[in-house]
Amino acid sequence: MDFQESLESINYLAVIVAALSAFLIGGVWYSVLFAKSWMTENGFSDEDLRKGNMGKIFGGSLLLSFIISFVLVVFLVI
């Protein structure tokens, strides 16, 4: 199987679901479950977090989740 056939055999819906699930699990992990302890360990305050560009932060995180999911499936398929 060559590289082109490998790319055609990828289930892209599974890549999208994996990326979204990683993004959502990370959101729950760092907000609902361990927000206070995470902020304490990293020395952040509520004011520090309000200063950040949330669109850039969450958009970058979602983009990186897609990249990680795609690279993982490429390693598994090829």
pLDDT per position as a tens digit, 32-50: 899 999 999 999 998 988 8
Q: Is the pLDDT at 78 greater than 80, yes or no?
A: no
Q: Is the pLDDT at 8 greater than 90, yes or no?
A: no
Residue among 57, 71, 54 nearest 19 (CA):
71
Domain count, the chain: 1
- What is the pLDDT confidence band of residue 77, given thresholds at 50, 70 and 90? confident
Q: Tokens 């090829």 label which residue?
A: 78
- What is the pLDDT confidence band of residue 18, given thresholds at 50, 70 and 90? very high
8 Å CB contact between 45 and 39: yes
What pLDDT score was predicted for residue 1?
67
- The DSSP code sequence of the chain is --HHHHHHT--HHHHHHHHHHHHHHHHHIIIIISHHHHHHHHT--HHHHHHS-HHHHHHHHHHHHHHHHHHHHHHHH-
Domain extent, residue 22, equals: 3-77
Q: Taking residues 20-33, what's their average pLDDT?
A: 93
